[in-house]
Chains A and B, each alone.
Chain A
Amino acid sequence: MLVLQRKKNQSLVINGNVTVSILEIGSDWIKLAIEAPKDVKILRAELMEAAEVNQEAAKELNTESVNALKNLVRKK
């Protein structure tokens, strides 16, 4: 993994065609500008994981686990 330091208004270029610039720096956030060709897919990492967890949740169910879950709720 490459770790580097950049200041406000500085940028870096990935693969010759993706430019990431630091627009603004807050207390616990930064604002980025990304210039990239249309076919480069950019996603917030948490969105990708959210989609992965949903995919897992939509698979087949284990009936025994569902029954155990019902029992757990009944005890509450």
Chain B
Amino acid sequence: MEILTKHFGSMEYTEEETVHFQDGLFGFEDYKDYVPIPLEEDSDAIICLQSLDDQDIAFIMMNPFLLSSVYRPKITAADRKALGNPNEEDISYYCICVINETLEDSTINLKCPIAVNALTRAARQLILDQPGYNFRHRIKDIEKDICTTNKKEVSHAGTAKKEKPVAGHKR
């Protein structure tokens, strides 16, 4: 199928690539279907989440685990249920970025990750109730930021999680 995107002109995508947000995103409750477009081939580091309902709605999100080895989102039972009760290893997490004039001013939202059931591609934006994760972390010093505000959490952190990417197709 073909879609007009906000940032990349016209693109081909397949039904299997799309993700469905039953409740939309916060502030975008009516927009439920998106296609994740990786900014670089075969990498889920930076993804453009393009709305299928409105060409002008697109978000830049990042794989937070590539930026921080200590980020540990804890999904609630209710949120997990809304995703169809996937196992933890089948959930991928991405965080939406606000890209400003410079990278120094650009931020990432660690408090509201997007959780995707990698098996069904059901997706949901969460609000974490964990201390130290805020709406706006400077992307450049995310690690330092978490470590200084969240020392207790860090000391409990285990090894880095292996993620199943939801976007990795070639463009």
Does chain A have a CB within 8 A of B125? yes
- The answer to whether A61 touches B26 (Cβ under 8 A) is no
- The answer to whether B26 touches A65 (Cβ under 8 A) is no
- The answer to whether A69 touches B139 (Cβ under 8 A) is yes
Q: Which of A10-69 contact B (CB under 8 A)?
A: 46-47, 49-58, 61-62, 64-66, 68-69
- The answer to whether B39 touches A70 (Cβ under 8 A) is yes
Q: Which of B46-65 contact A (CB under 8 A)?
A: 46, 57-60, 62
- The answer to whether B135 touches A58 (Cβ under 8 A) is no
- The answer to whether A58 touches B57 (Cβ under 8 A) is yes
- CA of A49 to CA of B26, assembled, Å: 9
Does chain B have a CB within 8 A of A76? yes
Interface residue tally for chain A (C-beta within 8 Å): 23
B127 to chain A, nearest CB (A): 6
Does chain A have a CB within 8 A of B150? no
A76 and B67 in contact, given A52-B27, A53-B109 (Cβ under 8 angstroms): yes
Interface residue tally for chain B (C-beta within 8 Å): 36
Q: Which of B9-17, B73-81, B85-93, B97-105 lies at the interface with chain A?
A: B97-105
Name the residue of chain A whose CB is nearest to the CB of B45: A73
CB-CB under 8 A from B103, the residues of chain A are: 65, 68-69, 72
- The answer to whether A65 touches B100 (Cβ under 8 A) is yes
CB-CB under 8 A from B40, the residues of chain A are: 70
B23 to chain A, nearest CB (A): 11
- The answer to whether A54 touches B106 (Cβ under 8 A) is no
A47 and B127 in contact, given A58-B58, A69-B139 (Cβ under 8 angstroms): yes
- The answer to whether B112 touches A50 (Cβ under 8 A) is yes
